[in-house]
Structure 1
Amino acid sequence: MYEIIIQNLLSPVVLFFVLGLIAALVKSDLKVPSALNESLSIFLLIAIGLKGGIELSKYTLSEVISPVIATIFLGSLLPIVALILLKTIKLDKKNAVALAATYGSVSIVTYGAAISFLDHTGTTYEGFMNAMVVLMESPAIIISLLLLKVMDQKKTEAVRYSSRNLAFTSPLTSFIDKDVLKEALFGKSILLLLGALIIGLIAGENALPAIQPLFIDLYSSVLILFLLSMGLTAGQRLPEVRKHGLQLLLFGIIMPVVGGVIGVLVGNMIGLSLGGMTLMGVLAGSASYIAAPAALRTSVPEANPSVYLGLALGITFPFNLIIGIPLYYQFAQWL
C-alpha cells in the first residue's frame, strides 16, 4: 500500500497539482487564464465521453445493464449516507443538502487521474466505465433536492386524514422546477459528457483515426495542465474550509473513504475486474465541483459555496489524488 501511494504521489499528474497548491499557499502570482481553464475542462469532458462511447459500442445491453443499475444505485444512496454522517456535525440543513449532492455526484478529473493511475500500473478495466461517469452525475443532485423538499414539507405541511379522503401533497409534485431539472440533466458537464458519449457510441471504432491524435494521445498532458489549475484553486479555497472547524475537514476525508469502500464492494458484487472495481470506488468516493455546484447555485442559493466547493476541491480532491485512488485500488486488490 505504501509503495502504491509513493508511486502515485511521484506521478506528474499529482506533482503538478501539488505545484499549483504550493503556488497558491505562498501567494505566487502564477495564474491559469480562465479561458484556458474552461478549454481544458471542455477537452477532458469530451475525451472521457468519446472514449466511453467507443468502448460502450463494443458491449451488448445485457453486459452493461448491471453496471448501469449499480451506478444509479450508488448515486442515489451516497447523498443519504452523507446526510447521516453530517448529522454528527450539526451543520445547517441547506449546507448539509449541498454537501450531500456534491459528495453523491462525481469528480471528472479525479476519475481521469484514476485512469492515468491504472494505465501507469498496467491495470486493465472495462471500457464501459467511462459511460458510468455520465450516469453518476445527476442522481445525487436530484435525490438531495428531493430530500431537502421532504425536510421542508415536514416543517410547513401536515398530512391530512379524513373519513372520506386522504389529502397528501407529494414532494414529487412540487419538487423541482424546470430550471433545476435543466441544470441537473443538461448542465454543461453532463451535456458534453452525454453528447460525446452518444457520438462515440454511434461512430464506434471508426472514429478512432479522427479522435486519437487529440483526445487520446494528448489526454495525459492536458490533464496535467488542468490539475495545475486545480491545485491553484484548491489552495485558494483551503482557508475558507478551515473556518468551519475540524469536524467538517474530517468529513471531507471520511466520506470519500466510506463512499469508495461502498463503490468497490458494489463493483465486486457485479463482477467487475480489479480496474473496474477501482474506478467504481473512485466514482463513489469523489466529490463534484462542476455539475453539482452549478445545480446548487440555482436550487439551494442559501448554501455557502465555500463549504461544498471548498471542501470538495481543498480537501477531498487532493486526498483522493494522493491517497484515495491507491486506497481503493488496494481494497479492490484485496477483494
Structure 2
Amino acid sequence: MSDFFTLFLKQVQSPTLGFLIGGIIVAALGSQLKIPDSIYKFITFFLLLKVGLSGGIAIRKSNLSELLLPALAAVVLGILIVLIARFTLAKLSGIRFVDAVATGGLFGAVSGSTLAAVLPQLDSAGIEYEAWSAALYPFMDIPALVTAIVVASIYTGQQAGSSSDKVEIWTIIKESLQSSAVTALLLGVALGIATKPEPVYESFFNPLFRGFLSILMIIMGMEAAQRMNELRKVAQWFAIYGFFAPILHGFLAFGMGLVIHKITGFSIGGAVVLAVIAASSSDISGPPTLRAAIPSANPSSYIGSSTAIGTPVAIAVCIPLFIGIAQSMLGT
C-alpha cells in the first residue's frame, strides 16, 4: 500500500494527470483561456502518428513467425477488456454507458510507461523474455480503442433511432477505422513497418512528444471540469473499477500467455509482459483517440480512473505480482 500511494502521488505530479488537473482547476476558476480547435486537432494527429510509428518500428524489428500467436492473444485481450467493462461497469447504477465503454477502451489500450517499467524489472529478476515482446502493445492497443468506438457508436445509434432500427455494424466499423484518430494510428503503424522512419522519429517526434501531450491534457482537463457534475455521484464506482480491473486483466493475459507457452514455448517472461500490458491503461494513444471518437464520454471518468488509480495498481501491484508468480514457476 505504501508503494501504491507513493506511485499515486507521482502520477498526480506526472505530465499526464498533473496537466489534466491543471486544466480542471483553470476551468473551475472561470478562466477565459481557450485553445483553438485546429491546434487540438494537430496535436492529436501528431501524438497518434508518433505512437503508431513506434509500434510499426517495433513490429518491423520482430520475428513475425514467433509473434503470430502472442499477437493474436493481444488482439483478443484488447477486445475482451472493452467487453468486460461493457457488461460490468456499464451495468452499475448511475454509470453512463459511453463513460463505461470509454473507460474499458482506455484500460484495454496500453501504457508505454508501464511497459517500459516491467522490462528492467524482469532483467533484474533474471527472467528471460523475448526481445520482440514489447511489440505486442499495438496489437492490444488499437483493437481495444476500435472496439470501444464501435460499441459506443452502436449504442448512440440505437439511442438516436427507434428500437426497431437495424444497426449496420459493418458500416460503424468502417467509419471507426476511417475516423481521423484511428487513421493516424494505423498510418503510423504502416509507415513504421514499410519504411525506416527512425531519423525523423528520433529528431522530430520524440523530442516534441511530451510537450504536446501536456497541452492535450490541459485541453481535456478544461473539458472535464465542465462535466464534473456528471461524475460526482458515481466516482466511487470508477475508483473501484480502476483498482480491480488491472489485476483481473493481468490474470486473464497471464493465463493466455501460459497456454501459448505450452503450445509454442513462449517464455514465462513473455507471459509476464503480456500480463502487464493487459493490466496497464493508456496514457498516450487512448485519451486523444477517445476524446475525438466518443465526444459524449466524460474525460474525467475514463482518464481519472485509469491514470490516477489504474496505472499505480499496474506498476505497484501487478508487476511485482506477476514477476513473483513467474519466479515461483521457474524456481528462481
**With structure 2 as the length reference, what TM-score do the two structures score?**
0.69
Q: Distance in 2 between matches of 1:6 and 1:60?
A: 38
Residues in 1 aligned to 2:107 and 2:258: alpha-carbon distance in whole angstroms: 21
Q: Report the counterpart of residue 138 of structure 2 in structure 1.
A: 131
1:326 equivalent among 289, 306, 316: 316
What is the total number of aligned residue pairs between the two structures?
304
The answer for unaligned runs of 5 or more in structure 1 is: 158-170, 298-303
Q: Kindly state the Cα deviation for residue 256 of structure 1 after the two structures are TM-superposed.
A: 4.7
Q: Supply the distance in 2 between the matched residues of 1:285 and 1:84 (Cα, whole angstroms).
A: 23
Partner of 1:63: 66
CA shift, 1:143, in A, is: 5.6
Opposite residue 35 of structure 2, the aligned amino acid is: P
Q: 1:210-241: per-residue Cα shift (whole Å, max 9, x none)?
A: 32112234434444444455455555544320
| Counterpart for residue 88 of structure 2 | 85
* Deviation larger for 110-119 or 46-55: 110-119
Q: 1:235 to 1:148 in 2, by over 3 A?
A: closer
- Rounded to whole Å, the distance in 2 between the matches of 1:231 and 1:116 is 26
Report the counterpart of residue 211 of structure 1 in structure 2: 201
Which structure shows the higher helix fraction? 2
**Matching residue within 188, 198, 212 for 1:196:** 188
Alpha-carbon distance between aligned partners in 2 of 1:255 and 1:11, rounded to the nearest angstrom:
18
Q: Which runs of 4+ in 1 moved over 6 A?
A: 107-110, 119-125, 144-150, 284-287
Percentage of pairs with the same residue: 18
Shift in Å, 1:9: 4.1
Matched residue type, 1:44: L
Report the secondary structure of 1:54's partner residue.
Answer: helix
What is the DSSP-based 3-state SS (H/G/I as helix, E as strand, rest coil) of the residue aligned with 1:192?
helix
Q: Tell me which of 240, 264, 271 is aligned to 1:250.
A: 240
Tell me which moved more, 309-318 or 232-241. Answer: 232-241
Q: Which amino acid aligns with 1:50?
A: L
What secondary structure is seen at the aligned counterpart in 1 of 2:66? helix
Aligned residue for 2:329? none
- The letter for the 2-side match of 1:136 is A
- Residue 13 of structure 1 deviates from its aligned partner by 6.5
Q: Unaligned regions of 5+ residues in structure 2, if any?
A: 124-130, 261-265, 326-332
Separation in 1 of the partners of 2:271 and 2:134?
A: 11
Decide whether the 8 Å contact of 1:241 with 1:314 is kept in 2: no
Counterpart secondary structure, 1:305? coil
1:10 is aligned to 2:3: no
Change (3 A) 1:315 1:125: same
> TM-score, normalized by length of structure 1?
0.69
Any conservation in 2 of the 1:13–1:113 contact (CA below 8 Å)? no
Deviation sequence 1:43-74 (CA, Å, 0-9, x none): 22111111111111122332221232112212
